[in-house]
Amino acid sequence: MGEGPVMARVRHRRGRYYAAITAVVVVGVGVAVGTTVAGANAAPSTPLAVPVPATSSASTWSFVPKTATPIKHVVVIFDENESFDHYFGTYPYATNTDGSTFHAKPGTPTVNGLYTKITSSGPTGPLLTKNPNGMEPQRLSPAEALTCDQNHGYTPEQQAFDNGKMDQFITYTQSASNCAAGTNEFFQPGLVLDYYDGNTVTALWNYAQNFAMSDNNYDTDFGPSTPGALNVISGNDGAGYAVSASATDPATAAHVTDSSVGYVGGNTANLGTIYGDLDPAYDECADNSRSATDTNPVGVMTGQNIGDLLNAKNISWGWFQGGFAPTGTNAAGAPVCGAEHENIGGNEVADYSPHHNPFEYYASTANPKHLPPSSEAAIGHTDQANHEYDLSDFYTTLQDGNMPSVSYLKAAEYQDAHPGYSDPLDEQNFIVNTVNEIEQSKFWKSTAIVITYDDSDGWYDHQNSPRVNGSNDPTTDQAVCTSKPVKLGSINDRCGYGPRLPLVVISPYTRSNYVSHNVTDQSSVTSFIENNWLHGQRIGNGSYDKIAGNLAGRGGVLDFNVRPQFKPLILNPTTGAVVSKN
């Protein structure tokens, strides 16, 4: 039901593999690939029964697919665990008492934030002075960037919504009062209500000033990272199940019970919804999985995802994640994903998180052994890597001129923004370095960069989301969900939309300094890819892509009726400040 703060800290206190580095763009590893690491990851009983895909014909690699818009490349930067109000609640007003200075451009539009108006002395309104949660939201400074993780489970988030009153966040999603004990993570009473401004999340505010953002974008479902990750590639976290970690063929293995899976009728013989965080079955780097003695089940998804649809049309794509490249192998020959970095608090954090990688839940798009691409030219095309890559491979293919049509980027954990082990400042370093490289590449003029998030972390957001799909599971659902019928498919535990999330789009094809109020969600990313490359083909099987708001619709974050702005906006990755607009 979502990973709590204590679990997160334990999971990331591993042995140090190599010294921390400050460069973001190239992920280094200090244990050579092929090195045997004794005791690292539990040894698998037998290898997974998943065939390695044959390399696709090189004649398909030069194929340039037609698109419905001028966008020939989309890059999805999919970060972790932030609500809209937590990052943009007082946009465009920053106090400028610390951190990086931010001054909004004249005429900057306001957002549906924590205020009713912005005065010369700052934002004002009842949400800031008489909040229904019983405490008032407080501004967090850059010195308080590394905070405790909040509760972001499927049920607690619904309870915090209190049937739309939005007044129970302290009770149900705030960190435990002792969450910071023995750590350098920041906590104060009422933390779950608190927010950053442009003096901390400076780069995102500057991107919003020069491109487009949304104040009406939502988590497809309530719940933590895994459902959000599945929804951004398929619009569906239903039609899944759990199996024993020792299963050699997850496709045929017996289904088992797990608190992260809601089976239809409570019967494991059926399929169900993966509404919590469990590691993917098709990943031999999954924490402690593949072991005959491991008791933690792993997850399997059936049906299709966007990768399957793109493969059918020979359209290049890839998922690029920090720490995906193995640092060695264990005694049984299984990969070890042991790369680590230090975050701003000096804490060692494992780069790779298996349950943040949605394609590893599907047999059709998995790379269980984390095999590298057969060549740089093969990146984005089907070969032994099966479209699953280390983050460093993205920068390689970008520099060498072979960037795939569709790229999903997942930062190493210390830079993915997830509270408890990451933070807005480390995240900013990753985002800015990445965006700067893309903007200075030959692909910039035909690229859309979409920055969004997998869940809210349970952080307060005052906006009650539209409920477009209900659920009526008496063991998990509250009135906010049971009051609406299931409209997408027939499986429960997919109640949505969930909490509001940030969405920023950087492209020559946006209005400058624009705030879209169109309703969108994580599956809108899937829908845009389908509309742009696949003639509007849909995944089906109850996917949210059927009803997803259009990123490029009238009033959307992409606009093909305005004059393109091809000049790159270069920011400083440390401060988030504008360096140049060439």
Torsion 306-300-418-455 (CA) sign: positive
Q: What is the structure's pLDDT at 19? A: 27
The band of 296, judged by pLDDT with boundaries at 50, 70 and 90, is confident
The band of 581, judged by pLDDT with boundaries at 50, 70 and 90, is confident
Residue 79 has pLDDT above 50, yes or no: yes
Better-predicted residue by pLDDT, 474 or 7: 474
In this predicted model, what pLDDT tens digit does every residue of 207-260 receive, in sequence order?
A: 999 999 999 999 999 999 999 999 999 999 999 999 998 898 999 999 999 999
Tell me what the mean pLDDT of segment 458-487 comes to: 98
Residue 263 has pLDDT above 60, yes or no: yes
User: Six-digit token pair at 252?
Assistant: 């045929």
In this predicted model, what pLDDT tens digit does every residue of 483-527 receive, in sequence order?
A: 999 999 999 999 999 999 999 999 999 999 999 999 999 999 999
CB count, 10 Å around CB of 441? 16
Q: Which domains are assigned to the chain?
A: 5-581 (3.40.720.10)
The band of 569, judged by pLDDT with boundaries at 50, 70 and 90, is very high
Q: What is the structure's pLDDT at 20? A: 28
Full DSSP string of 201-215: SHHHHHHHHHSEEES
In this predicted model, what pLDDT tens digit does every residue of 338-395 receive, in sequence order?
A: 999 999 999 999 999 999 999 999 999 999 999 999 999 999 999 999 999 999 999 9
375's CB contacts (< 8 A; 6+ apart) are none
Q: What is the structure's pLDDT at 294? A: 67
CB count, 10 Å around CB of 398? 23
- CA atoms lying within 13 Å on the CB side of residue 326: 26
Tell me if 359 sits within 8 A of 233, measured CB to CB: yes
Tell me if 196 sits within 8 A of 425, measured CB to CB: no
Better-predicted residue by pLDDT, 568 or 47: 568
With a pLDDT cut of 90, the percent of the chain lying above it is 84
Q: What is the structure's pLDDT at 62? A: 62
Tell me if 71 sits within 8 A of 447, measured CB to CB: yes
Tell me if 338 sits within 8 A of 328, measured CB to CB: yes
Q: What is the structure's pLDDT at 30? A: 33
Query: Is the whole-model pTM more than 0.75?
Result: yes
Residue 46 has pLDDT above 80, yes or no: no
Q: What is the DSSP letter of 469?
A: B
Q: What is the structure's pLDDT at 162? A: 98
Tell me if 397 sits within 8 A of 403, measured CB to CB: yes
Q: What is the DSSP letter of 164?
A: G
* Mean pLDDT for the chain overall: 91
Q: Sort 142 into a burial class: Cβ within 10 Å, 0-12 / 13-18 / 19+.
A: middle
Tell me if 494 sits within 8 A of 213, measured CB to CB: no
Q: What is the structure's pLDDT at 173? A: 98
In this predicted model, what pLDDT tens digit does every residue of 145-180 receive, in sequence order?
A: 999 999 999 999 999 999 999 999 999 999 999 898
Torsion 266-270-275-277 (CA) sign: positive
